[in-house]
Structure 1
Amino acid sequence: MKKMEISDSVGKKLAHDVIEYGPKQKRVLFERGHQIQESDIEKMKDSGNYFVFISEGKEEGVHEDEAASRMAEASVGKNLTVLRPRKGRVRILSEVPGLLKAKTEVIKEVNLTDPFIFALKGNNTGVRKREEVASAKIAPLVTEENKVKEIEELLERNKPVLEVVPPKVTKIGLIITGTEIYEGRIEDAFEPTLKEKLNKYGLEITKTTILPDEENKIKNKILEFHEKKYDLILVTGGMAVDSKDVTPSAIKKTGAEIISRGIPIFPGNMLMISKLGNSYILGIPACVLPDEKTSFDIILPRVLAKEKLNKEDIAGLGDGGLL
Structure 2
Amino acid sequence: MLFGEVRIDEAEGLILAHSLRLPTAMLKKGRLLSPADIALLKQAGMNFITGARLEDNDLGENDAAQAVADALCGPGVQSNGAFAGRCNLFATQGGVVVIDRDRLDRLNLVDEAVTVATVPPFVIARPRQMIATIKIIPFGVSRHTVDACAAYASTGGPLISVRPMKPFNAALILTILPGIRDKTLKAAAAVTRARIEGLGGAVAAEYRCPHDIGQLERCLTKALAAGHDLVLIIGASATVDRRDVAPSALEKAGGSIDHFGMPVDPGNLLLLGHVGAVPVVTLPGCARSPKPNGLDWVLSRLAAGVSIKPADIMRMGAGGLLKDLGGQVSTVWPGISTPNAMPHAAAIVLAGDSDAAPAVETALAAGLEPLVVVASNNSDAAEENLPPCDIRLLRNDDNPFAAGLAALPDDVEAVLIFAQGATISVTNVGDMLKALEPEEGRAIITAGDSCLIHCSHFAATSLATLLMDHAEQVLDLPISAKP
Number of positions where the alignment pairs a residue of Structure 1 with one of Structure 2? 286
Report the Cα distance in structure 2 between the residues aligned to 1:103 and 1:261, rounded to whole angstroms.
Answer: 25
Give the deviation of 1:284 after TM superposition. 0.4
Cα distance, 1:183–1:109 mapped onto 2, change above 3 Å: closer
The structure, 1 or 2, with the larger RCO (C-alpha pairs under 8 Å, 6+ apart) is: 1
**2:188 counterpart (190, 194, 198):** 190
Q: Is 1:105 the equivalent of 2:102? A: yes
Offset of residue 179 of structure 1: 4.6
Structure 2 counterpart of 1:273, which letter?
Answer: L
Report the TM-score, using the length of structure 1 for normalisation: 0.73
- 3-state SS of 1:274 partner: strand
How far apart are residue 275 of structure 1 and its match?
A: 0.4
Picking from 164, 170, 173, the partner of 1:172 is: 170
Question: In the alignment, which residue of structure 2 is the partner of 1:33?
Answer: none
Cα distance, 1:91 vs. partner? 2.3
Post-superposition shift, 1:125?
A: 4.0
Tell me how far 1:308 sits from its aligned partner. Answer: 4.6
Map 1:59-208 to 2 at 5 A: 62-85=59-82, 88-112=85-109, 113-168=111-166, 170-179=168-177, 184-186=182-184, 188-208=186-206
Contact 1:121 1:134 in 2 (8 A): yes
**Secondary structure of the residue that 2:282 maps to in structure 1?**
strand
Q: Check conservation: 2:18, 2:28, Cα contact below 8 A.
A: no
Distance in 2, Cα, partners of 1:233 & 1:224: 11
Query: Structure 1 residues 268, 55: closer, same or farther in 2, change over 3 A?
Result: same
Provide the C-alpha distance between the structure 2 equivalents of 1:178 and 1:207, rounded to a whole number of angstroms.
17
User: Deviation string for 1:295-321 (max 9, x for gaps)?
Assistant: 212222332344454433333334443
Q: Equivalences for 1:1-323 in 2 at 5 Å?
A: 1-3=15-17, 6-8=20-22, 10-15=24-29, 62-85=59-82, 88-112=85-109, 113-168=111-166, 170-179=168-177, 184-186=182-184, 188-237=186-235, 238-241=237-240, 246-290=245-289, 292-323=291-322
Greater CA radius of gyration, 1 or 2? 2
Unaligned runs of 5+ in 1: 18-35, 37-51
Query: What is the one-letter code of the residue matched to 2:108?
Result: N
* 2:134 counterpart letter in structure 1: A
In structure 1, distance between residues paired with 2:210 and 2:282: 15
| Distance of 2:307 and 2:147 partners within structure 1 | 36
TM-superposition CA deviations, 1:147-192 (whole Å, max 9, x none): 3344234433344211223345622112233457975253622333
Q: How far off its partner does 1:277 sit?
A: 0.6
Report the secondary structure of 1:280's partner residue: strand
| Percent of aligned pairs sharing the same letter | 22
Q: Does structure 2 conserve the Cα–Cα contact (< 8 Å) formed by 1:80 and 1:163?
A: yes
**TM-score, normalising length from structure 2?**
0.51
Give the secondary structure class of the aligned counterpart of 1:186.
helix
Deviation (angstroms), 1:77: 1.4
Counterpart of 2:381 in structure 1 is none
